[in-house]
Amino acid sequence: MPPEHFTPAHPDPATQALPYPLALGRAGLSGFPSPAQDYEGRTLDLNERLVKHPAATFFMTVTGDSMVSLGIHESDLLLVDRSIDPRPGHILVAMVDGEITVKRYELLGNQPHLCSGNPRYAPIPLRELDCQVWGVVRAVIHEYPV
Amino acid sequence: MTLIGLVDCNSFYVSCERVFQPRLVGRPVGVLSNNDGCVIALSNELKALDITMGMPAFKLQHLVGQGRIRLLSSNYELYGDMSQRVQAVLGEFSAGVEPYSIDEMFVRFDGFEPGQLLEHARQLHHKVRQYTGIPVCVGVAPTRTLAKLANRAAKKIPAYGGVCVLRAESVETRALLRRFELGDLWGVGRRLVERLAVLGIRTGWDLAQADPRWIRRQFSVTVERTALELRGTPCIEMNDVDEARQRIMTSRSFGKLTDNLGEIREAIRQHGQRGAEKLRSQGSLARAVLVFLKTNPFRNDLPQYSSSLAVELPRPTDDSREILSAAGQALQRIYRKGYRYQKGGVMLLDLIDADRQQLSLLDTPQSTADRQRSQSLMATMDELNRRMGRGTVKLGTPSPGAAWHLRCNHLTQRYSTRWEELPAVKAR
């Protein structure tokens, strides 16, 4: 596809360099401070974006490949937030048989189950004794070799 | 009306390890001192095997070998971070959170109806566990001494479910004061128990009923205060409560908000030095030092930050130089530019009696000559400061600590503070 057919992500491209998203200064002649002044000198902070609850947020490293179909790869970084109450569809960290594992929380026949992204592993009913939720995965960070 | 809550983390060091190692849950687990010398923290399951605080690790090797118990090296960085997290969650429930030690915090509750407060305290109990993984007990009462009693009840009596809210002079408070021994009360040491018993005061209830002025004449203002507190009259402040002698805490607000590392370092040095003096005057040695820093939570207009770090000492010590060196390292790691700090402090943790020689043999060795030199230097310093005013003799920049870890074979990862030591989560 020739480049002119791409739709620009930004219809009116920003002219500022990235880390300082908005312009400084005052708006027109009115004398009111520009709302943009609030953003003076601020940088984008991934903590602010991803860590909603610092005291309850932990990081973990993934081993194994059963969640690849759900976008979680070996040695990815999981951002786990224990303050979220798990709902079906969430990716969870759970303790299963004394091991910390990552699973998807699903309702099967109205019963809560922990499922892996790989059909080789059978869903585990969440009511079984040796199975407890540790936290909810809020984000996955996949770093590329660069 | 203001009520005081005491939040106490259950088997704190072991609980921290269990958050990241679910296999340790329900098993007998102990945490060892520096150099894997002796047991300094135990799970209930380990206590049930008649293993006690301070027991040398080598005497337990056969149980470890048989796979019956697990012993771990102490991981103060992990414990400090988890303590910080517990405090942060408490901050959502109370505007006034004061750490009392690494695993105990006081929280103030203002303007609650008693019924509401019980619900609030249960929420707090639940949220701390959910957010951090650390189980806690919560005791709430009109005074610190009664809050401690309430906390003890919450811990020992299963029916409370980990939360006990007491009112002064209620039937429930009376029953608990009768039930627990005097020695279990805050600020009542063993010798005092014996002296009180001679006068027919055997339970907390007896002490609460005695005439406070008479108590003051017979004993001291401190005991009078305890008696008044048991009746529900608050008269003990945070800084008065060193009697427990399990930990020493020195902290104060900086005179003004400051972001100047030089000023903060000086304040932390003073706290460290003051803490070390207290340590020597009560004849204890500390195993670890915790430093904390925080901004003013009421200044919403300023960026907020609070942090703490616990650092293990090379050996149990009361030497100001070693304590200041560890405190300096901890401060260096938690200080962040760009924040205006309101308060900082130093906690000395896991104290032991200085005269328990067998412990020092098991810990990192220090030659007798070395120890005597250190003792006479510290004694001279304390004497000069006593005679000529505090701060007459101060220590300069301490020399960096020597060998920090000779042996810690069972060290767990610093799961929550180091990128290279994160817990692994299995996808299978």
Interface contact flag, A95 B422, Cβ < 8 Å = no
- Range B25-36 burial, b when 16+ CB lie within 10 A, else e: bebbbbbbbbbb
Judge whether B349 and B311 are in contact, CB under 8 Å: no
Read off φ and ψ for residue B403, nearest 5 degrees: -65, 120
End-to-end Cα spacing for chain A: 27
Q: Which residues of A touch B130 (CB under 8 A)?
A: 56, 82-83
Strands (E), A53-130: 57-63, 77-81, 91-96, 99-108, 111-115, 124-125
CA distance A82 to chain B (A): 5
**Angle B261-281/B320-334 helices, nearest 10 degrees?**
140
Interface contact flag, A82 B132, Cβ < 8 Å = yes
Minimal Cα distance from A114: which residue of B?
B428
pLDDT of residue A17: 41
Interface contact flag, B424 A100, Cβ < 8 Å = yes
Range of the domain at B382: 248-349+365-388
Residue B411 pairs with which residues in a beta bridge?
Answer: none
Interface contact flag, A100 B20, Cβ < 8 Å = yes
The verdict on residue B156 lying in a domain is no
Rounded Cα distance, B350 and B141, in Å? 27
Residue B136 pairs with which residues in a beta bridge?
Answer: B9
Integer CA distances (angstroms), B317 to B31, B40, B346, in order: 19, 15, 15
CA distance B72 to chain A (A): 18
Handedness of CA B293, B296, B297, B300 (dihedral sign): negative
Tokens 């529900």 -> residue:
B232
Interface contact flag, B425 A55, Cβ < 8 Å = no
Print pLDDT tens along chain B (428 aa): 789 999 999 999 999 999 999 999 999 999 998 778 889 999 999 999 999 988 988 899 899 989 899 999 999 999 999 999 999 999 988 888 888 889 999 999 988 876 789 999 999 999 999 999 999 999 999 999 999 999 999 999 999 999 999 988 789 999 999 888 888 787 787 788 888 888 888 888 889 888 988 888 888 888 888 889 998 888 877 655 545 456 788 887 777 788 888 888 888 988 898 889 888 888 888 888 999 998 888 788 888 888 888 888 888 888 888 899 999 999 999 999 889 898 888 999 888 877 654 444 445 556 667 777 777 777 777 777 776 666 666 665 443 333 333 456 788 899 999 999 999 999 98
Contacts of B159 (CB under 8 A, 6+ apart): none
The verdict on residue B254 lying in a domain is yes
Minimal Cα distance from B88: which residue of A?
A55
CA distance B22 to chain A (A): 5
Which stretches of chain A sit within 8 Å of chain B by CB? 53-56, 58-68, 72, 74, 77-78, 82-83, 93, 95, 98-102, 116-118, 121, 132, 134
pLDDT in tens, A85-142: 999 999 999 998 889 999 999 999 888 999 998 888 888 888 776 778 999 999 999 9
Judge whether B253 and B342 are in contact, CB under 8 Å: yes
Rounded Cα distance, B142 and A73, in Å? 53
Contacts of A1 (CB under 8 A, 6+ apart): none
Task: Identify the structural domains of chain A with CATH numbers, from first to last.
Answer: 1-44 (no CATH), 52-141 (2.10.109.10)
pLDDT of residue A129: 64
CA nearest A63: which of A106, A100, A104? A100
User: What does chain A come to in residues?
Assistant: 146
CA distance A10 to chain B (A): 32
CA distance A95 to chain B (A): 7
The verdict on residue B299 lying in a domain is yes
Interface contact flag, B425 A83, Cβ < 8 Å = no
Interface contact flag, A100 B88, Cβ < 8 Å = no
pLDDT of residue A27: 39
| CATH code where residue B256 lies | 3.30.1490.100
pLDDT of residue A3: 46
Rounded Cα distance, B119 and B306, in Å? 28
Query: Which pair of tokens denotes residue B188?
Result: 């009542």
Judge whether B347 and B271 are in contact, CB under 8 Å: no
Query: Is pLDDT above 80 for A45?
Result: yes
The verdict on residue B37 lying in a domain is no
Burial class (CB in 10 A: 0-12, 13-18, 19+), A45: exposed
Q: Which residues of A touch B88 (CB under 8 A)?
A: 54-55
Interface contact flag, B132 A55, Cβ < 8 Å = yes
CA nearest A78: which of A131, A128, A143? A143
CA nearest A88: which of A49, A55, A126? A126
Contacts of A43 (CB under 8 A, 6+ apart): A19, A20
Q: In total, how many domains does chain B have?
A: 1
The verdict on residue B35 lying in a domain is no
Which of A53, A57, A58 to mutate against chain B (most B CBs within 10 Å)? A58
> Residue B427 is nearest to which of A55, A102, A132, comparing CB atoms?
A102
Read off φ and ψ for residue A53, nearest 5 degrees: -140, 85
> Residue A60 is nearest to which of B25, B423, B428, comparing CB atoms?
B423
> Residue B22 is nearest to which of A54, A82, A95, comparing CB atoms?
A95
Query: Is pLDDT above 70 for A24?
Result: no
The verdict on residue B369 lying in a domain is yes
Q: Which residues of A touch B412 (CB under 8 A)?
A: none
The verdict on residue B426 lying in a domain is no
CA nearest B262: which of B321, B328, B330, B323? B328
Query: Which pair of tokens denotes residue B380?
Result: 């001279």
Query: What ipTM is given for this predicted complex?
Result: 0.74
The verdict on residue B374 lying in a domain is yes
